[in-house]
Structure 1
Amino acid sequence: MRSYQQSGSGKRVSIYWTAGTRARAVHPGHAVGKKYWAATTVYGKLGYPTSDLKPGQEAGGAVQYFQKGRIAYPPATGAQILTGQILTEWKKRGGRTGKLGYPLQPAKTRDAPTTQVFQGGSLVAPRSGADYYPKNECWALGAGKTRYRHGYASRVSFAIAEKYGTYKAGFINCRRVGAVYVQAWKTATATVGLKGFRKPGVPSGHTAHRWSPQGSYTVTEAFGEGNPGTGLSYRKLNPRSRWSGTPGSSYNKYYESASPFFERWPDENLWNIMRAGDYRQSVVINYNRGPGQQVRQGHGFAIFLHAHPVATFGCIALELKNVSRYLKTAQKGDRIVMGVRKDIFTT
């Protein structure tokens, strides 16, 4: 390799040569050249260049080919390296002019498969080949297009209202594959609090106000008429089962009353609500509670994912079959991201 200074522009160019690749120019000041240098040039995973820099590509981008891969650069997202099975599948699907478009991130290997996120979807490379997953809400998790953290939970679900002031919502269940998320199932039949979602960071408050909170919350436990087979801690309800809304040490927690006839406002009688249908199966959403959180008196309690999708007192509600479906794949530490679409996703 030899470096030269271009006459007139003052910019430097590096020339790499082998008998097989011939002399090829890499521009150290260009985004592609910087990415190649960061990948330790010929000593890294790309090897020697097999083409010169090709500017003037789609969206004002550029591309350069190497022995073991290529670097694609659009100004909007920056230069990224493509290699191996991911590169092969990307080319098969039309490359930067196909439905995948340019890569948004480097390839990542997590829990075995290698994944890479593109403008139009994700590619997952297991032992051979690569699978394509389209751009959707689950894609946004791997693409870094959400405002709330997900912590690489095994599953992340969305409860999304399209605007403020409505209790109608959609629910989407995403499973993690390596470092990206793919859609497992979705339903348009979901509801939240009668008044809709609060603004981000604003507590939902008392259930009587019928607001739902926005945010990203873990799930660790569930309750209902009988365990459908879940990885969450499960409690079968009985006539003494209650949930406290009374300020004090038991606020926003499960407890059992001394008598099945004990009633105390605003505590919830879980047994009666289960028999009425809503709590036949329920998942506790760790809003204002849960591992590592400080419970704040008056900020809100009893936020669950439960059955019977009508306007709620702040919970998320689905059809019973979908709550059971959720439970059967749920594990401790899974997350539910809930809120208004424009507050959840970035462009």
Structure 2
Amino acid sequence: MGGRTSPLGDATSPEWTVDGGAVQSFQYGRIFWSPVGGAHPLWGAINSKWYNGHDSGYPIRDEESLGSGAIAQHFTNGTMYYTPQIGLHYIGAGIREAWWNKGGQTGVAGYPVSDESYWYAGGAVQAFQGGTFYFTPQYGTRLLQGAIRWEYERSGGYFYLGRPVTDEYSANGWTRAQRFEDGVIYWSNGRIWSERY
């Protein structure tokens, strides 16, 4: 990385062991080592977010550029993404896999605009530029977007329709739908409505 002329600067501590690996502090960041990912540096905003209590685990890759000022760094439990427009947000591994399957930052959801947070009954929720991912142990990770997401949140969300069971799908040639524990939301030709079971 360039030693003392690198973005980390001079060492400010000896290396010490931590649970599952080792770490050494520098003027402007840290280097972590683990048997899973090897040695990788943290600095700047990602280092600050990690230090302030995220359960992201150890870094398994170096920070990488995604273009247009965006950066990412992968950890054992998830990934941190930064863009100049939105800031820095953490995606846990479960939501991240579903997000990647829908194209990641270049897909329908775009970049995260919030951190992942706890949701009802052991679930998690995270908002993105183009939709919101909901995770539950029973139904996995489901993306709500557009008018269906708006109707779900407007109608009372979890308390009215329960947890999302499917992704959005085509009910017929003119109608989109998404199924929940207690009902279905439909969209067709600009009209949106829900039906409870």
**Deviation per CA, 1:94-150, whole angstroms, max 9, x where unpaired?**
2112221111111222322321111111111121521112234845x9xxxxxxxxx
Distance 1:66 1:121 in 2: 24
**Deviation per CA, 1:52-86, whole angstroms, max 9, x where unpaired?**
1113x144211000011111111211111111321
1:26 aligns with 2:7: no
Distance 2:141 2:149 in 1: 18
Q: Aligned residue pairs: how many?
A: 151
38, 55, 62: which one pairs with 1:52? 62
Q: Who is 2:145 aligned against?
A: 134
Q: Is the strand fraction higher in 1 or 2?
A: 2
Question: Aligned AA for 2:112?
Answer: P
Structure ranking higher on relative contact order (CA contacts 8 Å, 6+ apart) = 1
The 5-angstrom pairing of residues 1-347 of structure 1 reads 1-5=23-27, 12-27=28-43, 30-40=44-54, 45-55=55-65, 57-112=66-121, 113-127=123-137, 128-136=139-147, 138-139=149-150, 156=154, 174-177=155-158, 184-185=185-186
Question: TM-score, length-normalised on structure 1?
Answer: 0.38
Q: Who is 2:14 aligned against?
A: none
Question: Aligned AA for 1:102?
Answer: Y
CA contact (8 A) 1:101 1:119 kept: yes
**Deviation per CA, 1:255-304, whole angstroms, max 9, x where unpaired?**
xxxxxxxxxxxxxxxxxxxxxxxxxxxxxxxxxxxxxxxxxxxxxxxxxx
Unaligned stretches of 5+ residues in structure 1: 6-11, 142-153, 157-173, 191-321, 330-347
Q: Who is 2:11 aligned against?
A: none
Shift of 1:184: 3.0
**Deviation per CA, 1:226-250, whole angstroms, max 9, x where unpaired?**
xxxxxxxxxxxxxxxxxxxxxxxxx
Distance 2:106 2:64 in 1: 15
CA contact (8 A) 1:115 1:123 kept: yes
CA contact (8 A) 1:123 1:132 kept: yes
Shift of 1:37: 1.5
Q: 1:130 to 1:137 in 2, by over 3 A?
A: closer
RMSD: 3.3
CA contact (8 A) 1:116 1:122 kept: yes
Distance 2:94 2:79 in 1: 13
Question: Aligned AA for 1:176?
Answer: G
Q: Who is 2:4 aligned against?
A: none
**Partner SS state of residue 76, structure 1:** coil
Unaligned stretches of 5+ residues in structure 2: 1-22, 165-177, 179-183
> Identity rate of aligned residues, in percent?
23
Question: Aligned AA for 1:91?
Answer: W
Question: TM-score, length-normalised on structure 2?
Answer: 0.63
**Partner SS state of residue 113, structure 2:** coil
Q: 1:4 to 1:97 in 2, by over 3 A?
A: same
Q: 1:87 to 1:155 in 2, by over 3 A?
A: closer
Shift of 1:4: 2.0
Question: Aligned AA for 1:70?
Answer: T
Q: 1:18 to 1:189 in 2, by over 3 A?
A: closer
